[in-house]
Amino acid sequence: MSKKVLIVDDEPNILLLMEQALEKLEDYDIELLTARNGEEALETIKDEKPNLVFLDVMMPKMSGLEVCHVVKKELKMDDTFIVMLTAKGQEFDKQKGMDMGANLYMTKPFRPKEVLEKAMEVLDVSEED
């Protein structure tokens, strides 16, 4: 079964940046999915069961924190690795994200290389394969 990565952000330019950063994953038969708000993200997570989710915190309809809470605490999808993406680097937010079950926290702006490296590490894919 091929692995899946979901990118969730309401800003089209960030979505595009993330897709470009992660397009190399497609060489490893890893599917890239996108969602533009929290509700869409939750539906996609339920339907597709991605291995890794890059989740923006501030979004319309449902925040990334709420999505994370539902996925981890209500749906008990512990195998889904969630990386919270936020423009805010405050420790309070970070703690809140971790309390909701987030596995990792990345602050925008991020370096595409860093995003790809983290994804490959989480998905257990190495350059040599």
Beta pairing, strands 31-35 & 81-86: unpaired
> Does 128 map to a domain?
no
Confidence at 96, pLDDT banded by 50, 70, 90: confident
Full domain range(s) for residue 90: 4-122
Q: What is the CATH number of the domain that holds 73?
A: 3.40.50.2300
Contact status, residue 7 vs residue 32, Cβ threshold 8 Å: yes
Asked if residues 6 and 33 have their Cβ atoms less than 8 Å apart, the reply is yes
Q: What percent of the chain has pLDDT over 90?
A: 74
Residue 42 located in a structural domain: yes
Please report which confidence band the pLDDT of residue 87 belongs to, taking 50, 70 and 90 as the band edges.
Answer: confident
| CA quadruple 58, 56, 90, 107: dihedral sign | negative
pLDDT, one tens digit per residue, over 108-117 is 888 889 999 9
Does residue 127 sit within a domain? no
Q: How many domains, in total, are found in the chain?
A: 1
The Cα–Cα gap between 8 and 42 comes to 10
Look at residue 92 and tell me if it is in a domain: yes
User: How many other CB atoms are there within 10 angstroms of residue 48's CB atom?
Assistant: 15
Residue 76 lies in a domain: yes
User: Domain for residue 129, yes or no?
Assistant: no
Q: Closest Cα partner for 55 from 123, 126, 3, 108?
A: 108
Of 42-51, 87-96, 100-109, the range with the lowest mean pLDDT is 87-96
User: What global pTM score does this model have?
Assistant: 0.93
Over the Cα atoms of the chain, what is R_g?
Answer: 13
Alpha-carbon span 23 to 1, nearest angstrom: 19
